[in-house]
Structure 1
Amino acid sequence: MATPGAWTQRPHDPAPHSGDWAARPRYAPSDFVTLLWRERFLMLAVFLVLFVLGAAAAFSLKTSYPAQSSILVRLGQEYVYEPRAGDAGRGAVPDSDQVIQAETEILGSAELKQRVIDRLGLTRIYPKLAKKYVVADAAEKRVILSQAIRAMEAGLKIGTAPDTPIVRLSFEHEDPQTAALVLNTLLEEYLVFRRNVLVGSTTPALEEQREAFETRLAQADQAYEDFLTSNRIGDFVAEKAALAQLQAQIEQQKYQTEAQLQDRIGRLTVLENQMGQVSQEVGLYRDVNNAANDKLMQLKLQREDLLSRYRSDAQPVRELDNQIARLEQGIAEGRAAGDGAKRIGINPVWQTLQTEKIQLQAEVAALRQSQEALADQLRQLLDRRLRLAELEPRFQALSLDRDVLQANVRDFAVKEEQNRAAREIAAASNDNIRIVQRAVPPTKGKSLKKPVFVLAFLFAGFTALCAGLLRMFLRPGLPTPQSASRTLDLPVLGSARLKAA
């Protein structure tokens, strides 16, 4: 016997299982319109509730006025690296992006915002927080100030672009005048605050270090003076140089003295040999005997006298002529000549040689004494130089300490003055930071009412649609004849409306 409904089954269709058609009804796109229309009241209620709430939230939002400003940032002296000690890395500078990043961090710092609040007052910027601040205790005041700083951080926008030295700032506030005032005050405080951050006050540290080096330098000077005094040294370097120069001079004099001594000894030897060959006495003069000539003259005079009385052939005249002839012959033959008186004295040549010998002996003795004196002086100089050479390591150590400490004191004094000058210059100007545009009160506000209103409408509509679909899918049974026909794969011959209870 055939079961009911068997005549409607196709041979290839699987047998229906109990409960499958109720759990998984099949829908067509046309069914959704009909089914959602049935849930129109639920969807409308959900939409109205959510839209009203969203609209209320949108209309509760306040209009904010963004004030705009911009600054030009360039590389300044404060970014040039100056080492505190030594010269390693001197003159190193960061790139432009790092400079912009540093300035941006300074602009966004909480301390800078605290400065702005302290300068303008909490009442001028956030009146509601100011009212709470008046009646709050110390702990609550700190919390309120933190809230004000966070509110400023939320309202402040800092924008940069790669490879661009411009930093753009924007601050939003309910009051356009306050927005411009806060942003301009922020820029003014930023120009002051960045000096303290970048330049920094290192003068006290430099001064303390310089004073420490001065104290050590005074101790080194005292040790240096004690060293010189204990060793009876006026100027170590000058004395060492003077001793070397004096030793060279004395050695030169010694060599000259030795050469002179050898010269004098040689001359003395030759002189002594010469004196042995020279007679000590020599005839000073000798008288000549002229008696024969006088006699001859006298005979000639007598002959002349006789000729005045006698003839030339007279006997007396002939006798005188014979005498004269014999005397002349004797004189001619030298028989009538004889030695006269002689005088003998000191030989002047021997005397000169003796005088020169005495002088040479005196010079030799003097040169020997000079040689001994110079040798003694050389020994003293050598001992002194050896003593200085022994003391030189200690002197060099003390001098090196003094030189290093003096250089450190000088360097730190220079750095102290440079740091002071840099701070004074930085306090007077900000050459690398230029305000391109100062903030002016904005005339056009900025509000999220319209976006929030549109989002509330869309959200309410979407939520109502989801509620309708959820209610549609959760309803039991087959909602429409078409859905029943597709789900049961049976033709629907008729349908009747559900009678109201």
Structure 2
Amino acid sequence: MSEIFDELRAALWTVWHRRWMAIAIAWGVCLLGWLVIAMIPNAYESKARVYVDVEDVLSKQLGIAGDGKEEITRVRQTLSSAKNLEKVITATRLGEGITERGALDAAISELEKKVKVTSEQDNLFEITAEIGRSNLSEAENAVLARDVVQKLLDILREEHVAGNRAGIAQAITDLERQLDGRKRELEEAEQRRLTFEAEYPDLVGGSASLSSKVQQSRADLRAVDADLAAAESALAAISGQLANTPRTIIGGRDATGPRAALQQAQTQLAELRSRGLTDNHPDVVSTTKQVQILARQAAAAGEDAGGTPNPAWSSLMAIRTERQANVEALQARRAALQSDFAALMASQASEPAVAAEANRISRDYDVLRENYEKLLQDREALRTRGQVESKASQFRFDVIQDPTVPRKPAAPNRPLLLLGILIVGLGAGTATAWGLGQLKSSFATPQKLEREFDLPVIGSISLTISEAARTLEKKRLKQFAGACGGLVGIFVILVAIEIVSVGTIA
């Protein structure tokens, strides 16, 4: 710890011993630095805040509203583009004296660093321009900063409102050109499809359509088989009832004769069968035998059948005729379906190459038709959107804060720069004095001499000065303090001037 303290004392003695050199260097660095700062022109900043409203009721109702976030991103990225900055330069005093392209590109590059477009919220962003040119006065720089921001706002209105409509018109033109090409391709594909369908009608729609036809034919055939089975069952049932129903009804006095008993037995037998009893059932067997016996008795009795027609038999006969016709129709339908199914199966099995060609033609036609319809819908939507924006733009730009002429410079921060130069000057003088001291072969303390040569120091002799030398030293000390105070005083004066001069633009 004592060694560090000794080194610090030695460094301070070295600097103090060469204090006049240090203060002279500090004065030189400070005066030069303050002069450079004084030559830096003030930069004035103007800003504007813009709100972009992308919600349009009519466009949303029509289903043609665009993506607002994408539009705001596009505005923020393209507003400070080189093309727009070139318009700003040519429309303001920034373009004075620029006649060559190289000078214009340099001005654009410089202005790009001075212009900022920042987003504060989703729909709110800020346009800032900082201008400080040495060939212009303070007031002119402030007005120029305002003009730059105002021109950017004008470009915003022109490019992204009117320009949006021009973009829609160009998009419609491009879509119409694509539609013409797609229309020709679609007509050619449709002609190929019609030619193929005329040659192979079974393969209309491709092999996928053929497979669906086979499946549909198989399903229709199964449905007809089920209907035919039900119709045949119903015909058999009505035929059984008709066989057990007499054609005539015996009337007159002899209501108890053999024929009347035969009719009653036949009716009873028909009732048993209608209940679903089989011929092996005991009741059916006994009733059948009774009918046979009564039939022989009626035949032996010789009674004529001169009775009245039986209406039940006539009704059953009409139903049987209708059901017979239904069965015959279903049989004809089944035969036709079997023929069609066999033809489809033969086409599917014997023409694989033709089926593949049918698939390709059908697929190409469907793709072209879908693309054409989509392009057609897009064109109509763009036309509707263009008509809407002719009445009112989809995007509304509200200027929340208009650009104004700034009263105070935004840069540079002169008080801070002045303080920095003062610190740098004092540091440069101190470092120079210490560095020169290190080049000398003298030693500030006995301890340092002893450490350097590794030899014991017997003693040291203190410096003794006379009264006249002491008086001279005090005088020089006052002069040094005056030099330091003068440097600090100049710094204070410059800072005060800067503070007072800020905000004096009329």
TM-score with structure 1 length normalisation? 0.49
Higher gyration radius (CA): 1
Q: Which has the higher helix share?
A: 2
TM-score with structure 2 length normalisation? 0.49
